[in-house]
Amino acid sequence: MSNSNENNVIFRAAPGGKLSGRIRVPGDKSISHRSIMLGSLAEGVTDISGFLEGEDNIATLDAFRAMGVRIEGPDAGRVTVHGVGMHGLKAPAKPLYLGNSGTSMRLLSGLMAGQKFDVEMSGDASLSKRPMKRVTDPLRLMGAVVDTSGTGTPPLKVKGGQPLKGIDYMMPMASAQVKSCLLLAGLYAAGKTCVTEPAPTRDHTERMLTGFGYAVERRGNTVCVQGGGRLKATRIDVPADISSATFFMVGAAIAAGSDIVLEHVGINPTRIGVINILRLMGAELELLNEREAGGEPVADIRVRAGKLKGIRIPEDQVPLAIDEFPALFIAAACAEGETVLTGAEELRVKESDRIQVMADGLVALGVDARPTPDGMVIHGGRIGSGQVDSHGDHRIAMSFAMAALVASGAITITDCANVNTSFPGFVDLANKAGLGLTVDPA
């Protein structure tokens, strides 16, 4: 746990209620990580607003401070990064501790492979079980010297001073973290680094590199960078995180009488699987006031309660909604008929095994949910009351909190401290919108 002494944080969610009003959820986690990384390596001062002050992003920020970057903030989402240039990072005095954050470790492994110094990176119990071979294999092809535990998990040790060469890599899985890792290593490699993805994944790294003045070549599912360039500081306005907005979208879609507007949400086409899937299920969802902020499309999202129906989730939507399935499973539990998810085996290696942990929680609440190796089959019906274990997974805890809106009795959710990794202030905001959540210990 990122807070080992707090892993007994319990959410008690009272049954019933509806969501209403206008709220802005915190900043996008993926974009916030990248803003610190690229801002640190840029020449000049990068001003960030809307930065997510969650534990995962603070882990990234602290890592760059430990490598000698002067960073002011965060203060109400404002961060000022005094970039040190591509070759200005310094060896940290001790291993970098990255808590629960897989994104920090995987993206940093690529960046660290290009440095002159050695680095060791470690994480909490969950991160220590997550697969790193997916980044170490291609990094080795580039000439990096990286070590993991015998099972390919953290701690990850990167040896400095290794010349890297560009590669042409076909990713075996649709992963933005692997793609980003290799592009970041590619900034330091001789020649060109190209990554081809089997299906589109979030493209925040490519967009932000462009925003920092770095040329990125995109052709179909392939993206390439030429090593040896420079980054120029810029301004970054981080939109609200669609993955955090998801809990409220699902809550409003399932709870009778709900009508909520989620403000300034990032609607990058590589992230809107949740909108597409909820619409296929019949949700009443409108995108209002579509505009652009800092190279990313944003909109206000209005969601009203409606009748949901079970669907077969199109596999091409899976990478575009990869973090949203815990909440989507709750929507499926409230839909009429059967919802079938396939092609989502990646869910088994997230902060928890999200297929097993969600199925266990749904079954504990009386829902007909059957896990499969690569997805789940859920028969919609009534959600009962009871106790579920989030296994320290932030998105599982928040998803079951929303389930209480339609449950027949209270839902108790254990091991919730990690909600702070992505959504500080969740309980207050959720209660303001209409949930009845209390936290133990208060």
Q: How far is the CB of 265 from ligand S3P (least distance, A)?
A: 16
Rank residues 115 and 201 by Cβ distance to ligand S3P and give the closer one.
201
Residue 323 lies near ligand S3P (rule: CB under 6 A):
yes
C-alpha 28/C-alpha 265 separation (Å) is 9
Structure tokens at 83: 């970039």
DSSP code of residue 198: S
Binding part of the chain for ligand S3P, among 176-184, 268-276, 291-299, 424-432 by CB under 6 A, reads: 176-184
Cis peptide upstream of residue 424 (ω within 30 degrees of 0): no
Residue nearest ligand S3P by beta-carbon distance: 30
Instruction: Check binding of 399 to ligand S3P (CB under 6 A).
Output: no
Closer to ligand S3P at the Cβ: 166 or 326? 326
Q: Is 180 one of the binding residues for ligand S3P (CB under 6 A)?
A: yes
- Residue located via tokens 């220590």: 128
Q: Is 323 a catalytic residue?
A: yes
Contact residue for ligand S3P among 40, 109, 175, 390 (CB under 6 A):
175
Min dist CB 133 to ligand S3P, Å, is: 13
> How far apart, in Å, are the Cα atoms of 357 and each of 273, 278, 372, 406?
22, 22, 12, 20
Angle formed at CA 40 by CA 136 and CA 2, multiple of 5 degrees: 60
Residue 65 near residue 93, CB atoms below 8 Å: no
Q: What string marks each residue from 25 to 64 as x (binds ligand S3P by CB under 6 A) or -? A: -----x----------------------------------
For residue 230, give both structure tokens.
């420079």
> Does residue 103 belong to the site contacting ligand S3P (CB under 6 A)?
yes
Q: In the structure encoding, which two tokens stand for residue 253, read together?
A: 């879609």
Cβ-based nearer residue to ligand S3P, 157 or 394: 394
* Full strand arrangement of the beta sheet holding 70-75: 70-75, 78-82, 45-49, 235-237
Query: Which sign does the torsion angle of CA 426, 57, 174, 275 carry?
Result: positive
Of 323, 389, 393, 415, which one is the catalytic site residue? 323
Closer residue to ligand S3P (CB): 227 or 266: 266
Task: Between 202 and 207, name the residue whose CB sits nearer to ligand S3P.
Answer: 202
Residue 296 binds ligand S3P (CB under 6 A):
no
Residue labelled with tokens 């990096």? 144
- Distances from the Cα of 78 to the Cα of 36, 69, 74, 92, angstroms: 12, 16, 5, 25
Residue 263 structure tokens: 């403000």
Q: Which of these ranges, 169-177, 206-214, 246-254, 260-268, lies near ligand S3P under the rule CB under 6 A?
A: 169-177
The nearest distance, CB 156 to ligand S3P, in angstroms, is 15
| 374 near ligand S3P, judged by CB under 6 A | no
CB atoms within 10 A of CB 289: 12
> Which sequence positions are flagged as catalytic?
323
Binding site for ligand S3P (CB under 6 A): 30, 103, 175-177, 180, 201-202, 322-323, 346
